[in-house]
Structure 1
Amino acid sequence: MSLIRRRSLIKAGGVLAGAMSIGGPTAAASGPVFAHGIASGDPTPDGVVLWTRVTPGPDALPGSGAGPDCAVDWEVAADEGFSTVLARGTATTGAWRDHTVKVDLAGLPARRWLWYRFRALGEVSRVGRTRTAPAADAPLQRLRVGVVSCSNWQAGHFAAYRHLAARGDLDAVLHLGDYLYEYAPGEYQARDVVVRPHDPPVEMTRLEHYRRRHAQYKTDPDLAELHASVPFVVTWDDHESANDAWSGGAENHTEGTEGAWSDRRSASQRAYAEWMPVRYEPGGSLHRRLRFGSLAELSMLDLRSHRSQQVSTPLDPGISDPARTITGDEQMRWLTGGLAHCTAQWKLVGNPVMIAPVRFPSTLSVEERRAIGELTGTPEVQGLPYNVDQWDGYTADREEIFALLRENGITDTVFLTGDIHSAWAAELPASPASYPLEGGSVGTELVCTSVTSDNLDDILRVPPRTASLSVEGAIRANNPHVKHLDFDSHGFSVLDVTPERVQMDWFALADRTAPGSGAQRSASFAVPAGTQQVHQVSEGIR
């Protein structure tokens, strides 16, 4: 089995309260056996997924298919010193799963900080910290998560992760996709400068490639620190497989030279399951729901595996064809059913691509239109770019969700989004053409910036907060439901959820290419409970 469930290990390892611990160092860095770090994810009230990768010998490199099977001990404790061990067990791994280990725990106490570690081949990993969720019906006054997406190794360093790890006040990190990129060196980087080249030095198309690229990203010290300090909740977007992926292909895939898309997608999903701390295995479903007491429920979407092919032009009537889908029928039923019957106050949706409708103004220059088209990866029609890779290209699915929210009076729905390398705060208009005069807003959307990937000023080759300002102003004027837009910043966001409001703070890096880059808060927007509206606030999260 590639997914080790603790329930199946109880007979072998059991639940050990106060048992003898593994022992060994608790240093911040691991030795060569645990060179790719440790991680946790998908917290539930009684469990969490633990992850690591072991290197049993110099031949057992990621993607090599070499190296012996080995036993890996794990344990979870109520304290950092491991004086009270709550659970322990042993997992077996080998080349058949690239020597990764994933342990799906259950039976742990709810809403607790816990510490965990692994041991193999005489070496003890660093100690990680994780947190279980509150009981489903437990009152909760605050949930705080980091929000990130679009972390391109070649375009910079991951200082954003370092700043999140240093906070110490996060319950989880929400990664909304493009955790890694498929491109070869020289194909996509920072204003055409490769800050640090990808390994392997080719575009990922095979299982070996995806495994090696995941391994490379896991060696980043700031990402390793964040993974070891807080659980992640992740979903993929397109670059975990290939640009603008859909169920039957991708813009960045050529069957004639790169093989069958089904093989490439299978390889990317298998490597993702092996290398990410996520409750997912190939052949299963990535979309899933996590509950945080009575305060919030988080629905994580997969908007690549089931979607119809993107139309080539927004003039195509297929844009509104109900037979075309971005979610797939089963996932749509799951999403709408969850929203309709949710008993938590806040309905949070982890959404890889923007759902708010966006009309690009005709006043943009030719160069600005080209840059926005490149940023969004979409075509220009009659001189204007149109984002057919996002929900704008699948309007029947979007209308089904908006109609559900509108007709059932569902409140406090917030979509949390990545992908577009820019910061947005938007209301979701019931009637986009007549907003705000008719129908009002049925929900809100908060979009995080990229960690490192190019955005508008990078594409235009101009200093930040110069040429982009007029573009942002024109888009906001043409889309009155868009309350905030920053096309230039790289960094991270922090989302704070209370019964009174949801607030997102955006933080901008000073220099994405500098490992030690500073960061400062660039904007804060809040959604007061019951309003379906978003507005700017001057005070950051405390």
Structure 2
Amino acid sequence: MMLDTRIIARDEQLDYGKYITANGLDIAKFQADLTNPMRTLMGETQREWLLGSKEKNIVGVLQSSTATWNVVGQQVLMSKMWIPAELLASLGQITSGGTSPDTLAKMNAQITELVTLKLRLEQGDPTLTVQEKARVTTLVPYNLDAWDGYYAEREFFYTKLAEFNKKIIVLAGDTHNAWTSYLYSQKGEYVGVELATSSVSSPGLEKYLSIPLAQLQQFEFAFTTLIDELAYCNLNQRGYLMVTLDDKQVLSDWIFVDSIKNAEYKVDSSRGYQLVLDANLTPEKDKQKTA
């Protein structure tokens, strides 16, 4: 099932900059717009084609599907890429051109603090203060251009999946980086997995965030620690995603090349990644490939 989430019917994406007032972010207005059920990424016609409509007596293709695997291809990330609110300001400063050694050093220190707090929270550390917990549990969507900016429609989608008693495999791109996320509704119900491919040649977060090569894997660990749904990411390499489905499992291979600037190149086997899912879309094998 292939969707268009870029051109046909999407409402204009939200912009944090439009909610900044003299007193800071207008949280109430932002939340009201973010959760507005009238805002759409798919559009009514495409949504009804996929999910159906009881009012119009339309049976959607996902609802009627008898396939072993329900694969939904589309262009933007569906997973909740929610980050600590305080980190959003730091990332925004860098992506808007405010990069300097001092800025990067401060953000690195901030990320280290947040990761440490999140790990302590996950380990049930009773000494965490209310303020420390709030630093890693007060979350905001990072990319309003993706499904994160269309909260109500995504939840409607997930509600329909529960109604149909189905899970989905979402294929995505757009970000130029490689990701794996496990998708959950706001009620905590597991609805599927998202497999997102890197770009073939376009730069990704390593450029937009000016991440030094020596710190890339530190950033990747921070992302997968701080973002609850995110299980894997590769923030700097170019390549492709190969997904193989049979009657029992889903095999996903993220394959990267060592150079995009030379005619002579080879597969970089040092950072390849493989994910194997069973019939319930539960990981059977999840590993960094080294050969």
1:296-336 per-residue CA deviation (whole Å, 9 max, x = no partner) reads xxx11111211111122284222221111000001001111
Distance 2:88 2:188 in 1: 33
Question: Alignment partner for residue 152 of structure 2, among 396, 400, 408?
Answer: 396
Paired residues of 2:193 and 2:281 also in contact (CA < 8 A): no
The alpha carbon displacement at 1:366 in A equals 6.6
Alignment of 1:472 onto 2:227: no
Match in the other structure for 1:326: 41
One-letter amino acid matched to 2:177: S
Alignment of 1:439 onto 2:198: no
Distance 2:85 2:12 in 1: 27
Question: Alignment partner for residue 523 of structure 1, among 258, 273, 289?
Answer: 273
Distance 1:478 1:387, change over 3 A: same
The alpha carbon displacement at 1:457 in A equals 2.2
Distance 1:320 1:534 in 2: 35
Alignment of 1:302 onto 2:4: yes
Paired residues of 1:510 and 1:519 also in contact (CA < 8 A): yes
Gaps of 5+ in 1: 1-298, 375-381, 432-437
Distance 1:457 1:347, change over 3 A: same
Match in the other structure for 1:484: 232
TM-score scaled by structure 2? 0.69
The alpha carbon displacement at 1:408 in A equals 2.6
The alpha carbon displacement at 1:526 in A equals 2.1
1:452-503 per-residue CA deviation (whole Å, 9 max, x = no partner) reads 1111223344554x32323322222222321111111111111111111112
Paired residues of 2:88 and 2:142 also in contact (CA < 8 A): no
Match in the other structure for 1:360: 83
TM-score scaled by structure 1? 0.39
Identity of aligned residues (%): 26
Paired residues of 1:416 and 1:447 also in contact (CA < 8 A): yes
Distance 1:383 1:348, change over 3 A: closer
Structure with max Cα Rg: 1
Q: CA RMSD in A?
A: 2.8
1:55-98 per-residue CA deviation (whole Å, 9 max, x = no partner) reads xxxxxxxxxxxxxxxxxxxxxxxxxxxxxxxxxxxxxxxxxxxx
1:224-249 per-residue CA deviation (whole Å, 9 max, x = no partner) reads xxxxxxxxxxxxxxxxxxxxxxxxxx
Paired residues of 2:73 and 2:172 also in contact (CA < 8 A): yes
Distance 1:477 1:385 in 2: 15
The alpha carbon displacement at 1:430 in A equals 2.1
3-state SS of 1:398 partner: helix
Distance 2:273 2:65 in 1: 30
Alignment of 1:456 onto 2:232: no
1:394-451 per-residue CA deviation (whole Å, 9 max, x = no partner) reads 111101111111233213x1000000111111111122xxxxxx63411110000011
One-letter amino acid matched to 1:340: Q
One-letter amino acid matched to 2:15: S
Distance 1:534 1:361 in 2: 30
Paired residues of 2:254 and 2:274 also in contact (CA < 8 A): yes
1:134-191 per-residue CA deviation (whole Å, 9 max, x = no partner) reads xxxxxxxxxxxxxxxxxxxxxxxxxxxxxxxxxxxxxxxxxxxxxxxxxxxxxxxxxx
* Aligned positions of 1:122-161 closer than 5 A: none
Distance 1:538 1:357, change over 3 A: closer
Distance 2:285 2:154 in 1: 23
Considering fraction of residues, name the structure with more strand: 1
Number of residue pairs matched?
A: 227
Distance 1:309 1:534, change over 3 A: farther
Alignment of 1:339 onto 2:88: no
